[in-house]
Copies of this chain bind each other. A is one copy, B any other.
Amino acid sequence: MKSKITLKKIAKEFDVSISTVSKALKGSHEISKEVREKIKAFAAYYHYKPNSLALNLRNQKTKTIGLIIPEIVHHFFTKVISGIEHVANERGYNVMICLSNESYEKEILNMDMLANGIVDGIIVSVAKETEEKGTHNHFKELINNGIPLVLFDRVIDDINCNKVITDDIGGGYLACNHLIKMGCKRIAILTTPDHISVGIKRKKGYLKALNDNNYPIDEDLILKIDEKNSIEDQINNLFELTNPPDGIFGVNEIYAATAIKIAHKKGLKIPDDIAIMGFTNGLISDFTTPPLTTVAQHGSTMGERALELLLDEIEYQDTDYKYKTEVIKTDLIMRNSTKKIPKNTFK
């Protein structure tokens, strides 16, 4: 276990100064060819690599950016990470990923840790607990400290910074509108409690689609799922209604896939008896029976754009930088859980 080779050790080896070694390794013509070559050879032999900490300290930048996400066992966030990694590679940056576990405390802890010189900028998707609490001082402080911040997916309106969001309203509209086109008459939505921003927006799109098509709004068909209790039990109640839905829109993959599961148990045929849609084209959607029609939200594009915005801000020279909010459009992925069955032509 020999310790790392440094400029100092090389300098001692040849009885020259540290600066000579540094210059030699950089190929400076200040240093005679002879000395240059032998130092280079020696360094190569011992696999010399400049210590990053020292470099970062000197340069006052780390070429590393921090990413704080609520959860990692989640397909959407892994896609975002892929997108971020992709751009980071291209532009010579590293990524430090931290998990908030949806906790307000942990989010602050992570931010404090990253903010102490470790990273040049931070990308965050806000934890549920923070959204619920509505306390945003840690973000303001970060910005005050001059550390560039980009919020994505779950953002906070009154923080002034770059943002990348999914067109959740448009996606909700897309989903509900599709179910209407498929001939559904009573369309339910499986959504989140009211403090989750993306849930609210997707529901907004759903309501708009109903309105635009002159469908009545039935509160019985709006199910706000509380994840502290059994998701399956809560969705099951929907199927027990005296006047049950013939179309279901789940605002995420799990809700929709669980609905499929229950429909199977009830002996309902999908999509004939009931059509089911999801949101987020994740791992599950393609392997349910039938495969889930869903709204794709392009996680990796979001990641790419988030990092690009961050780096633009970091590398911006002038003083008149203007923050942007980018909206990433969603797309409908048609599969068989909502297939249109022409009336009276089947059997």
Contact = CB atoms under 8 A, between A and B. Distances in A.
A326 interface: no
Contacts of A264: 289
Contacts of A1: 146
A23 to B, nearest CB: 20
A54 B2 CA distance: 23
Nearest to A261: B287
Contact of A116 (B50, B96, B97, B257): B50
A79 B73 contact: yes
How many copies of the chain does the oligomer comprise?
A: 2
B94 A94 contact: no
Main SS at interface, chain A: mixed
Contact of A72 (B51, B54, B57, B81): B81
Contact of A283 (B50, B62, B282): B282
Given A2-B144, A4-B117, A53-B117, 17 more contacts: A1-B146, A2-B145, A52-B113, A53-B56, A54-B57, A54-B117, A57-B57, A72-B72, A72-B82, A85-B99, A95-B98, A97-B97, A260-B289, A261-B287, A282-B283, A283-B283, A287-B288
6 contacts: A4-B145, A49-B115, A81-B99, A96-B96, A260-B289, A284-B284
Interface of A: 1-4, 47, 49-54, 56-57, 62, 72-75, 78-79, 81-82, 85, 94-99, 112-113, 115-118, 141, 144-146, 257-258, 260-261, 264, 282-284, 287-289
